[in-house]
Amino acid sequence: MARVFISSVIPAEAAKVWERVRDFNGMPKWHPRIRDSRIEDALPSDKVGCIRNFHLQNGDTIREKLLGLSDYDMFCTYAILESPMPLTDYIATLRLTPVTDGNRTFAEWSAEFECDPKDESDLVSGIGGNVFQAGFDALKRHFGG
Q: What is the rounded CA–CA span in Å between residue 49 and residue 64?
A: 10
pLDDT at 142 over 70: yes
Task: Give me the CATH number covering residue 37.
Answer: 3.30.530.20
Output the pLDDT for position 144: 86
Q: Could you read off the pLDDT of 3-12 as tens digits, one per residue?
A: 999 999 999 9
The answer to whether the predicted template modeling score (pTM) of the entire model surpasses 0.75 is yes
Residue 111: strand pairing partners: 4, 92
Q: Could you read off the pLDDT of 41-72 as tens digits, one per residue?
A: 999 999 999 999 999 999 999 999 999 999 99
Domain with 43, as residue range(s), is 2-142
Between the CA atoms of 45, 69, 73 and 107, what dihedral angle is there, to the nearest 10 degrees? -80
The string of DSSP letters for 19-63 reads HHH--TT-HHHH-TTEEEEEEGGG--TTSTT-EEEEEETTS-EEE
Total of domains in the chain: 1
Work out the pLDDT band at 145, boundaries 50, 70, 90.
Answer: low
